[in-house]
Structure 1
Amino acid sequence: MTLTLNASRGMRVNGQLQRLEAVIGLPVWGTPRLPIEARPRPVAHCVAPARANYVGKFATGIADNQALKQVGAALGTLGAPAVVFPRIRAAHARPPACEGHIETLREAGAELVYGAGVWALNEPRQDLTDR
């Protein structure tokens, strides 16, 4: 499993990183791998939740953290499916590039968990009881 640097730092501080490794029985990556370290060979990649910023970076090839590097390099090349759950607010889905990013990921072979029937796009500050 690969986490962003911030996620791994937070989980390490509160002891959750070690608990997660124990539960899944696999190493959890959260910092860049050194060239002499073993390269993980995942059977699948799952990005959830993928916020608008992550989706945009992933679709355009920006790999500025370990999680983006790992899944970006694997998409369509290692035979492991990449499942992406874009969890984007309605306001962030309105810019014209957003649907293009979603379509780019779909065309690249990502399996998307996305659409009104999956998870409704909510407006900022929308009442949680409306979901």
Structure 2
Amino acid sequence: MDTVAAPPRSADWLRDDLGALEELTGHQVRSRYKRPGEPDVWPKADVILFAPVTANSLNSWALCLSSTFVVGVVAEGIGKRIPTVAMPCVNAAYAAHPQIDRSVETLRAAGVEVLYGENGFVPNPSGERNPYPWRAAVDRALQK
């Protein structure tokens, strides 16, 4: 792992761990767009792993609604042809919404490897929490 992007709320939740993540990766954890004129503190990406992807981020990404930094990074990644692996994390109630399948198909058609369904993340029943299959997501990204 070279860099970490976290939505602002997640960065806030992780605030006590941000220093350790930056030390581990050697790069600043980013949660917001850089200001005009500021240098880009990240190296060029060889691969992107976007996980866990919420229903909101999945649908925003598929529609190229990049109002958050994290969705902006992965939306640009498609255009830059950066190999990308994504693994959603949605419960069965969200998964039943027809937009989820449309978004997964849109992203797959754009070249994103979406680990969802039979060969990836299987939605949990609402209220049930099963361990997130991080190892499968990381292993697949490392194969890119």
TM-score by structure 1 length? 0.85
1:2-42 deviation digits (Å, cap 9, x = unpaired)? 21111122222x2x111001112222211220121223322
Greater displacement, 47-56 / 23-32: 23-32
What is the match of residue 51 of structure 1?
Answer: 54
Aligned equivalent of 1:109: 111
Partner of 2:92: 90
- What is the distance in 1 between the residues matched to 2:108 and 2:129? 31
TM-score (norm 2): 0.78
Corresponding letter in the other structure for 1:9: D
CA distance in 2: counterparts of 1:111 and 1:31, whole angstroms: 25
Contact persistence 2:86–2:112 (CA under 8 A): yes
Distance in 1 separating the partners of 2:86 and 2:129 = 26
| Structure 2: gaps of 5 or more residues | 131-144
Residue number among 99, 106, 111 corresponding to 2:101 in the alignment:
99
Aligned residue for 1:28? 29
Q: Indicate the SS of the match to 1:62.
A: coil
Task: Name whichever of 36-45 and 20-29 sits farther off.
Answer: 36-45
State the percentage of identical aligned residues: 25
1:47 is matched by which residue type in structure 2?
F
Per-residue deviation, 1:124: 0.8
Give the 5 Å matches for 1:8-87.
8-12=11-15, 14=16, 16-39=17-40, 40=42, 41-75=44-78, 77-87=79-89
SS of 1:98's equivalent in the other structure is: helix
Give CA deviations for 1:58-102 in whole Å, capped at 9, x if unaligned: 111111111111111121x22321111011111101112211110
Distance change (3 Å), C-alpha of 1:31 and 1:127: closer
**Partner letter of residue 84 of structure 2?**
A
Larger Rg computed on CA atoms: 1
